[in-house]
Structure 1
Amino acid sequence: MTATTVRTNYEIKDPSLAPKGKQRIEWAGREMPVLRLIQERFAQEKPFAGLRLAACCHVTTETAHLAIALKLGGADAVLIASNPLSTQDDVAASLVVDYGIPVYAIKGEDAETYTRHVQKALDHRPNIIIDDGSDVVATLIQERQDQIQDIIGTTEETTTGIVRLKAMLRDSVLTFPAMNVNDADTKHFFDNRYGTGQSTLDGIIRATNVLLAGKNIVVAGYGWCGKGTALRARGLGANVIVTEIDSVRAIEAVMDGFRVMPMEEAAPLGDIFITVTGNKHVIRGEHFDVMKDGAMVCNSGHFDIEIDLKTLAAKSTEIKEVRNFTQEYKLNTGKSVVVLGEGRLINLAAAEGHPSAVMDMSFANQALACEYLVKNKGELEAGIHSIPKDVDEEIARLKLVAMGIKIDSLTAEQIEYINSWTSGT
């Protein structure tokens, strides 16, 4: 922590940053009409009155609107950062100063500080947890068993977090409901594909100012995040190579016009490498050994383990920062590998994360998932639950209305036809 860090019932960089943060929060709100409608309803209905809520999210201008919605809904809410490099310090300051929401988040916080903030979230004794990567839920289960009785449920919006929740369920330790926000259509189709696609390349450009046209960009993983990243990289003129472990996704990448090969074959070819898998050590020692001099590696998955930075450091004779969020590792072979954003989420480390128009739908899902947990308290079984289809469709409908886009409706004849087995060709 720096000398300007303030510690009280919140922990932020500097309260004097609040005016700038408030201005940026209000700007983001221009492109978040769905969440604004939810805020207005929550302010009237107070669905979270008397409930404590802890949210572990990227502390950005978009997240601010989710936090405001929860408070307007009556929640006693606390917000902590889900990633050490994603916090926007001016936004954290504004949430504390202007909106009265306790925040524990500092851009660049070390592992010890992050762990302490997770404990702060649990000290709040939440009834509902909004998680990003399931760190808070995992800590609750491992260290705070006595608090599980207070939990109504949790929501999770990342692929990594859902994988961890499924592992908890297999081990019979997930004893309360968890809402799978990540797999809602209005989340992964748009947030993962269009949000990650644009913001990842935005982060790379801001960190390096390199021209992407003509570069060989290797995208590791062809899930929704990988699809979006590959699509946007090609749109900027890059030659895109995809690596995959899933045969179906690999075929899809080929059919979408990308070259597909193992990482060991892609490693000597790539100029820029982007991991979007959610797994560990996707790029490792044997890959660094054969990379071009000056090859750049970054991550847009979740945790900073997708790139094996420990092995890279062990192979290096010098590590130096050459630009903000850009470190050059000088290998003992004389070549260098450039790591962006310390291997953490490049779109949030070096840029501002997803555009607010995309997060409007993602955070609408989060807010409505929390409301669903409260409305169905005591009725949902322990385990992982999908966002109800009607909620997903309503978010999409509201977004279309806000965009001024109209769509067709089925006629009575069409409804009868698709519901009948007697009408043939």
Structure 2
Amino acid sequence: MENYKVKDINLAEQGRKKIDWAESRMPVLMYLRDKYSKTQPLKGYKIAGCLHVTKETAVLVETLRAAGAEVAWSGCNPLSTQDDVAAALAANGISIYAWHGMNVEEFYWAIDKTLEIDPNLTLDDGADLIFTIHNKHPEKAKNVIGGTEETTTGVHRLRAMAKAGKLLYPVFAVNDAETKWDFDNVYGTGQSTIDGILRATNVLIAGKTVVVAGYGHCGKGVAMRAKGLGANVIVTEVKPTAALKATLEGFRVMPMDEAAKLGDIFVTATGVKDIIVKRHFESMKDGAIVCNTGHYDCEINIPDLESLAVDKKEIRPNNEMYTLKDGRRIFLLAKGRLVNLASAEGHPSEVMDMSFANQFLAMIRLTETGKDLENNVYLLPEEQDQEIARIKLETMGFKIDELTPEQIEYINDYSQGT
């Protein structure tokens, strides 16, 4: 029997070309693959993964297998799976259950299929896999040494679960590694979100007023890239320090109720529901473009938009035009899903190189320490961050200074005055 379900296995050759390209852009992960394929520290371990099926993810999956792991995979977003990449993984013997456009039932069916291997490690983006184990298959948690979580939203929810005493195994917050969120979230999200908007609309960004909801790492990246293309950027926030940072970095800051009247393009990047709701749609300009680059599609209240519309049609791929009763048109991109993955290809390979190096090394770390950890959410050690950054710099042809023994002694000598 086939141990996969994808859209079309005949797309495998096309997907393999994409993976080959990603490998040429991901030298850190390829270095780790070469190193650990010799020692195979993951031999005998079974990993269930739930993460966007992109060419970069494929490089991670095949690196995990090269290190000895048995892997079963599903996509963590119904619209982010690249069908040719999924086919390439299936053709290479990976148990994968993912295709673009899955409905909710199919999405969770795929996660259930990955759990049939009885994993002892889990790798997640958004924590849907972890939640499925906890809520539907708690008996399987007994065999899980530990897991990892890729994104901010998932980490927040897992910390809440741990605080409530409900987490059944330890999890490394890969998202919170410096070489993840200070690079992937900022530069990856910034560039790929603009890419997704352009593919779905082909609008001129220069001169537009772009409203970015949320000024965390992801929102900061989007605001930075929009500004670089000539947009006038407005930031909406609930956190005073984040709003202050946005202000001092040159952006206008105001509540969404005010920004809704001014924006040409709206991007939500908060991980929180109901950021854009009925009253905001009611005050938007004719032609406003609305999209989401947070994890879930609930940031934009789509039922509210539909309640105001008298007509809805797809005007371009991943671009739906809602005509309101007064004739105004609002364009929703990627059905409110992650615009950078649903209408583009996600983050560039170069930045995912570091994120997925963290995932890979976290898996190995769990095999070494997971059984000794309590059921909590843990940060990865700083030395791992610095090692990944060092390797990345070397592959880019850069060298940096090193502290002398005397400088190290000075740093640690609390007896010296000014």
TM bin, normalised by shorter chain, reads: over 0.9
Cα distance between partner residues in 2 of 1:236 and 1:180: 33
1:107 equivalent in alignment to 2:109 = no
Give the TM-score taking structure 1 as reference length: 0.97
Deviates more, 1:221-230 or 1:9-18: 9-18
Q: Give the deviation of 1:238 after TM superposition.
A: 0.2
Q: Give the deviation of 1:111 after TM superposition.
A: 1.2
Q: Give the deviation of 1:136 after TM superposition.
A: 0.8
Structure 1's consecutive aligned runs of 4 or more residues displaced over 2 angstroms after TM superposition are 421-425
Counterpart pick for 1:272 among 265, 272, 287: 265
Identity %: 52
Q: What residue in structure 1 maps to residue 52 of structure 2?
A: 58
RMSD over aligned CA atoms reads 1.0
Q: What residue in structure 1 maps to residue 43 of structure 2?
A: 49
Q: Give the deviation of 1:399 after TM superposition.
A: 0.3
Q: Give the deviation of 1:124 after TM superposition.
A: 2.2
Q: What residue in structure 1 maps to residue 11 of structure 2?
A: 17
Cα distance between partner residues in 2 of 1:392 and 1:351: 28
Q: What residue in structure 1 maps to residue 245 of structure 2?
A: 252
Counterpart pick for 1:146 among 130, 135, 139: 139
Q: What residue in structure 2 maps to residue 179 of structure 1?
A: 172
Contact 2:134/2:168, CA 8 A, preserved across alignment: no
- What per-residue deviation string (whole Å, max 9, x for no partner) do you get for residues 327-370 of structure 1? 01111222111100100000011110000000000000000011
Q: Kindly provide the amino acid, as one letter, of the partner of residue 228 in structure 2.
A: G
1:370 equivalent in alignment to 2:363 = yes
After TM superposition, the structure 1 = structure 2 runs for residues 3-402 of structure 1, keeping only pairs within 5 Å, are 8-97=2-91, 99-402=92-395
- List alignment gaps of at least 5 residues for structure 1: 1-6
- List alignment gaps of at least 5 residues for structure 2: none
Q: Give the deviation of 1:123 after TM superposition.
A: 2.0
Contact 2:120/2:145, CA 8 A, preserved across alignment: yes
- What per-residue deviation string (whole Å, max 9, x for no partner) do you get for residues 218-277 of structure 1? 000000000000000000000000000000000000000000000000001000000000
Q: Give the deviation of 1:375 after TM superposition.
A: 0.7
Q: Give the deviation of 1:319 after TM superposition.
A: 0.8
| 3-state DSSP of counterpart to 2:298 | coil
Q: Give the deviation of 1:412 after TM superposition.
A: 2.4
Q: Give the deviation of 1:45 after TM superposition.
A: 1.2
The structure where helix makes up a greater share of residues is: 2
Cα distance between partner residues in 2 of 1:12 and 1:306: 29
1:403 equivalent in alignment to 2:396 = yes
Give the TM-score taking structure 2 as reference length: 0.99
Cα distance between partner residues in 2 of 1:46 and 1:201: 39
Q: Give the deviation of 1:421 after TM superposition.
A: 2.3
Cα distance between partner residues in 1 of 2:160 and 2:326: 41
Equivalent pairs counted in the alignment come to 418
Q: What residue in structure 2 maps to residue 4 of structure 1?
A: none
Q: Give the deviation of 1:50 after TM superposition.
A: 1.2
Cα distance between partner residues in 2 of 1:377 and 1:55: 17
